[in-house]
Structure 1
Amino acid sequence: MSGALSLAVADRIVDAALAAAADNGFPPMTVVVLDTGGHPLVVKRDERSGIGRVEIAMGKAHGCLAMGFGGRELARRADAVPKFFTSIGQLLPHGIVPVAGGALIRDDKGTLLGSIGISGGTSDDDDICAIAGITSVGLVADTGDAQ
């Protein structure tokens, strides 16, 4: 795949991420997929997913795009320079949630196609589901850790 992330592919990513949550017995999840401009392509939440989960998932996905790193790298950087991350969180329109569960979506050549944010379980649970969703369509999950 090259170029833009289509609605159909984004929808498949989200459905696979939600299926991974169910298959693993994780709590109800909310998943957001953004295009490279930060615009939502798909937002889905399990009807049992908690209040605020859309905003948290959006903050994870948006923060990854805004900073150009997956959630795990964002977390390391937030630990290293917390005042910077506190400041930019107030500047970004959808905030920033620098933890696992947010990832950049890339093709096999490394081209940025969008991002995903998931909220509902632990950050590690969310990350497992993000990776499952992205890889289910043959794309690469850039979580901020070496692949």
Structure 2
Amino acid sequence: MADISMNKARVMIRKALQKGRELELKPLSVVVLDAGGHVKAFEREDGAAPGRFAIAQGKAYGAVMLGMAGTAQMQRAEQQGYFMNAVNGVYGGQVIPVPGGVLVRDKRGVVIGAVGVTGDTSDNDAICAAFGIEQANLVAEI
């Protein structure tokens, strides 16, 4: 199974933050999780709220554990709230089903992790996460 190297994780974070500054977004926090949902790397920009780690992790954790990016999770929550409530019961309330949790796939399409970004609107967070992933020569699923 492919894995996200520390180098690739750092590229994803650096480029996601760069995109946020380019778009003049609020201070961001970015986490990279491996395929098992474990933290590979995390950074919080100066000025970002201290509680942002849990939000970034929740966005990414839901994506990797369900194999479903944040946008799809939000749609599912809107259509079948009972499902996402059950999922959060199973995962101890750790899933935040909104855009900004982006799946990371290798070139063969295998899920190798997820990136969670928080700090601005969920849609802007997802844009930054996808940019970071693509700059690391991996495939983003928003």
Counterpart contact for 1:62–1:94, Cα < 8 Å: no
Q: CA deviation at 1:84?
A: 2.1
Q: Which residue of 2 aligns with 1:71?
A: 70
Q: TM-score, normalised by structure 2?
A: 0.95
Q: CA deviation at 1:87?
A: 2.7
Q: Secondary structure at the match of 1:99?
A: coil
Q: Which residue of 1 aligns with 2:88?
A: 89
- Specify the code of the residue in structure 1 equivalent to 2:55: I
Runs of at least 5 residues in structure 2 that lack an aligned partner in the other structure? none
Q: Please show how residues 46-61 of structure 1 align to structure 2 within 5 Å.
A: 46-61=45-60
- Specify the code of the residue in structure 2 equivalent to 1:111: V
Q: Separation in 1 of the partners of 2:40 and 2:93?
A: 15
Quickly say closer, same or farther: Cα 1:49–1:14, change in 2 above 3 A: same
Runs of at least 5 residues in structure 1 that lack an aligned partner in the other structure? none
Q: CA deviation at 1:142?
A: 0.9
Q: CA deviation at 1:94?
A: 6.3
| Aligned alpha-carbon RMSD (Å) | 1.3
| Aligned pairs, number | 142
Q: Secondary structure at the match of 1:34?
A: strand
- Specify the code of the residue in structure 1 equivalent to 2:101: G
1:7 aligns with 2:1: no
The 4+ residue runs of structure 1 with deviation greater than 4 A are none
Counterpart contact for 1:55–1:94, Cα < 8 Å: no
Q: CA deviation at 1:91?
A: 2.6
Q: TM-score, normalised by structure 1?
A: 0.92
Q: Which residue of 1 aligns with 2:106?
A: 107
